[in-house]
Amino acid sequence: MAEMTLLQAINAALFEQMRKDPTVVVFGEDAGFEGGVFRVTKGLQQEFGVDRVFDTPISEAGIMGSAIGMAINGLKPIAEMQFEGFMFNGFNQIAVHMGRMRNRSRGKYSVPMVLRMPWGGGIRALEHHSEAVESFIAHIPGIKIVIPSTPYDAKGLMAAAIQDPDPVVFFEPKKIYRAFKQEVPETEYIVPIGKARVVEQGKDITVVAWGSMVREVQTAIKSLEKDNISVELIDLRTIVPMDTETIVNSVKKTGRLLVVHEAVRTLGFATEIITRVIEKAFLNLEAPPTRLTGFDIAVPLPRGEHHHMVDPKRIAFEIKQLVNYKV
């Protein structure tokens, strides 16, 4: 075991999987020599050489298109978009090829690759550096989506993503890249894609969150202890495939659901979660399933960002409203 931040855990997973599988290659803008602007890929080029770990031109479409070709021809590419706000330059490839090549060729070709991106706000960054863009990808069939919330999960999920036979988009919540440390096994382990984690057990309300929002909810839950409110917190961990069963079972027990996410509200992933819960646990509901999300606005620049970012106070407020809901 070693104490690691989420960033170090991802770095450790990359080292581990690259040692194990010589077909794994890592690349992106500044991802080679300097180890990426956040240093997630630090040290890899020194150990694995420039053919396997390399800097690319500023060329998201070039990176994405080439990654797909590499995956088809026997490599295991781990491509990086330097910031999620720039993925749209490469979005054509993500939307029209990454998740479709397998179906298009009836299984002759598949695209086993990982697309890494720093994700989300809360780091007082420039415009386009603070976006929660998971719903854009979730609307494309054939692509899995992972967003870890702890160092332990980050390492195990990255190992799972690299070994997955389908394309995986791996969002890295940059707000908690270095926010806290956790004991992480140095040997290989897998956190399976598609399985949510029940972070806290509770009986009054189910709260679903992912990425940096999990910690915000945990803080809110602590503040609610004095109110004697018992919250079941579920960390979704993977957006696609979504672990419907864990959420529905929880709501059947608690009767209440709050989904918390950073992304803008309209057609944010809360929409999908709430719809599934209504479809499968309608008669168990004691309050309207509710979402607490970013507003339908562009992420404000740092001076105003706190209005947009959901914080523990608002989460606690919303939980109380729902628990005290009367028909």
Partner 1 sequence: MIISKYDPLKLEQFQVLDSEGNIVNPKFEPKIDDKTLLHMYKTMSLARMADIKALQYQRQGRMLTYAPVQGQEAAQVGAMAALEPQDWLSPAFREFAAMLYKGVTLEQLYLYWYGNEIGSKFADDVNVLPVNVPIGSQVGHASGLAYASKVLKKNQVAVTYIGDGGTSHGEFYEAMNFATVFDAPMITIIQNNQYAISTPRHKATKAKTLAQKAVAFGIPGIQVDGNDVLAMYAVTKEAAERARKGEGPTLIEAYTYRIGPHTTSDDPTIYRKDEEVEQWRLKDPIKRFRIYLTNKKLWSDAQEEQLQKELEEYVTETFKKVENSDNPTIDDVFDYTFVNNPADLIEQKEKYMKYLKQTFLQSLKETSKANKNLKEE
Cβ distance 63 to 27 under 8 Å?
Answer: yes
Cβ distance 142 to 112 under 8 Å?
Answer: no
- Residue 15 or 54 having the CB closest to partner 1: 54
* Binding track, positions 99-138, relative to partner 1; x by CB under 8 A: x-xxxxxxxxxx----------------------------
Active-site annotation holder among 97, 128, 129, 306 = 129
Of these, 24, 53, 75, 162, which contacts partner 1 (CB under 8 A)?
75
- Residue 58 or 298 having the CB closest to partner 1: 58
Contact between 64 and partner 1 by CB under 8 A: the answer reads: yes
Sign of torsion over alpha carbons 293, 265, 156, 196: positive
Q: CA–CA separation, 323 vs 255, rounded Å?
A: 10
Q: CA–CA separation, 112 vs 231, rounded Å?
A: 38
Contact between 30 and partner 1 by CB under 8 A: the answer reads: no
- Residue 248 or 316 having the CB closest to partner 1: 248
Q: Where are the strands (E) in the chain, listed by range?
A: 2-4, 24-28, 53-55, 76-80, 114-119, 144-146, 168-173, 182-184, 197-200, 205-209, 231-235, 238-240, 257-264, 290-294
- Residue 141 or 228 having the CB closest to partner 1: 141
Contact between 57 and partner 1 by CB under 8 A: the answer reads: yes
Q: Which stretch binds partner 1 (CB under 8 A): 34-42, 93-101, 147-155, 180-188?
A: 93-101
Sheet (strand 257-264) strand order? 197-200, 231-235, 205-209, 257-264, 290-294
Cβ distance 287 to 254 under 8 Å?
Answer: no
Nearest residue to 28 via CA among 56, 69, 51, 53: 56
Q: CA–CA separation, 205 vs 325, rounded Å?
A: 11
- Residue 242 or 264 having the CB closest to partner 1: 242
Contact between 56 and partner 1 by CB under 8 A: the answer reads: yes
- Residue 125 or 248 having the CB closest to partner 1: 248
Nearest residue to 209 via CA among 124, 289, 293: 293
Neighbours of 26 (CB within 10 A): 26
Of these, 24, 72, 270, 310, which contacts partner 1 (CB under 8 A)?
72
Concerning whether 97 is annotated as a catalytic residue, the answer is no
* Binding track, positions 235-254, relative to partner 1; x by CB under 8 A: -----xxx-xx---------
Of these, 8, 18, 36, 97, which contacts partner 1 (CB under 8 A)?
97
Q: CA–CA separation, 272 vs 265, rounded Å?
A: 12
* Binding track, positions 166-205, relative to partner 1; x by CB under 8 A: x---------------------------x-----------
Nearest residue to 158 via CA among 80, 88, 98: 80
Q: Rule CB under 8 A: which residues touch partner 1?
A: 23, 25, 51-52, 54, 56-57, 59-75, 77, 92-93, 96-97, 99, 101-110, 141-142, 144, 165-166, 194, 240-242, 244-245, 276
Looking at the annotation, which residues are catalytic?
Answer: 129
